Amino acid sequence: MGHLHGWRHGFLGAGLLAPLLLLAGVGSSIAAERLDGFNVVVAADHPFGSAPADVALKRIRRIGATAVAIVPFLWQPDPSSPNIVRGADMADDELRAAIRQARMAGLAVIVKPHVWVPGSWAGAVAPASESDWKTWFAGYRRSIEQVGRIAAQEHADVFAIGTEIAKTTHRPEWFEMIAAARAVFAGTLTYFAHNAEEAERIPFWDRLDVIGVTLYPPLGPDLDRTGRLARMREVADSLDVLAAATGKSVLVGEVGLRSALGAAAKPWESAEERESAPDPLLQAEVLGDWISVLDRPAIRGVLIWRWFTDPDAGGPADTDFTVQGKPAEGVLLCAWTLHCGPR
């Protein structure tokens, strides 16, 4: 770790990141072709195409990220509903602006649709009857084809046909979905499974180009770093096995943690679900550990959840997932640029 010897106290005003980075092992070599970066989420009054969004994306590039995931939402009223449509969060013109703006900032682009279910989540989606399944897939396919065409026209690098829709992936309609996506998008196709457990059950990896996965396994008590690292390595080892079995690399589409006390036990838990005091150093340490553990040949890249189009988002008192203005931002700078001192 000789490249860390130039670290001096004071980066981001924390004065504590050097020992944290040394403990995490951050700074190991990461090939330039990897897709490392952030899921970028639109903040209110800061749409893609705006000047603030441009500032936010350029800051991502300065940290050393090489890629961003753009997240348009699909929407359905409840998990069993067959009625799924494009959400109102990102119109076609803004999706185009997002891809163009990210590419102008020098970033590779992954277009990564999510399903939004009020009061629930995508992993609960399961239509109630065979007829409803057919209706749901017809609506889902229309939206995916529409988003995929825009991704193709704007030269996105990767297109995801779905994210974390775990109760749908046993259905035979997915094979037709993949063919439909191929017809509109000639680039790299993937699907983002929820944790390694779903990834191991996906029946259609042979039809896709890259294995996609999001990682939010329970990591135990905040202070049990030994146990946390063991769990991370177990997860990463299972991804190695899956990559070897399929002959495909793995793109980690999400890994994240709130900057909040108690966040390690349930890394998926949102600020709306549980109030907590801020703990930005826990977030920094956990993300540093993930980056270190996932630095292995089978992993093509790691995308952090998340970064906002508002360049002033986050900060040390914030307890949500964004790393903006927090010690974790410095950990990622060190990992991706090998510049581990103040700038």
Question: Does the residue 342 lie in any domain?
Answer: no
Question: Does the residue 56 lie in any domain?
Answer: yes
Question: Does the residue 203 lie in any domain?
Answer: yes
Encode the chain (343 residues) as per-residue pLDDT tens digits: 222 222 222 333 333 444 344 444 444 333 347 999 999 999 999 999 999 999 999 999 999 999 999 999 999 999 999 999 999 989 999 999 999 999 999 999 999 999 999 999 999 999 999 999 999 999 999 999 999 999 999 999 999 999 999 999 999 999 999 999 999 999 999 999 999 999 999 999 999 999 999 999 999 999 999 999 999 999 999 999 999 999 999 999 999 999 999 999 999 999 999 999 999 999 999 999 999 999 999 999 999 999 999 999 999 999 999 999 999 999 999 999 987 765 5
* Helix 173-184 with 130-153: angle, nearest 10 deg: 20
CATH number at residue 317: 3.20.20.80
CB 239 within 8 A of CB 213: yes
CB 201 within 8 A of CB 246: no
Q: Look up the domain containing 102 and give its range.
A: 2-337
Could you give the number of structural domains in the chain? 1
Instruction: Spell out a b/e string for 108-140, using b for 16 or more CB atoms within 10 Å of the CB, else e.
Output: bbbbbbbbebeeebbbbbebeeeeebebbbebb
| CA distances from residue 67 to 34, 57, 120, 167, 302 in whole angstroms, order as listed | 9, 10, 29, 29, 9
What does the alpha-carbon distance between residue 56 and residue 114 come to, in Å, rounded to a whole number?
Answer: 22
Q: In 133-187, where do the E strands start and end?
A: 158-163
CB 98 within 8 A of CB 136: no
Question: Does the residue 151 lie in any domain?
Answer: yes
What does the alpha-carbon distance between residue 259 and residue 180 come to, in Å, rounded to a whole number?
Answer: 40
Tokens read off for 230: 């063991």
Question: Does the residue 343 lie in any domain?
Answer: no
Residue 43 region by backbone torsions, left for phi larger than 0, else alpha for psi between -120 and 50, else beta: beta
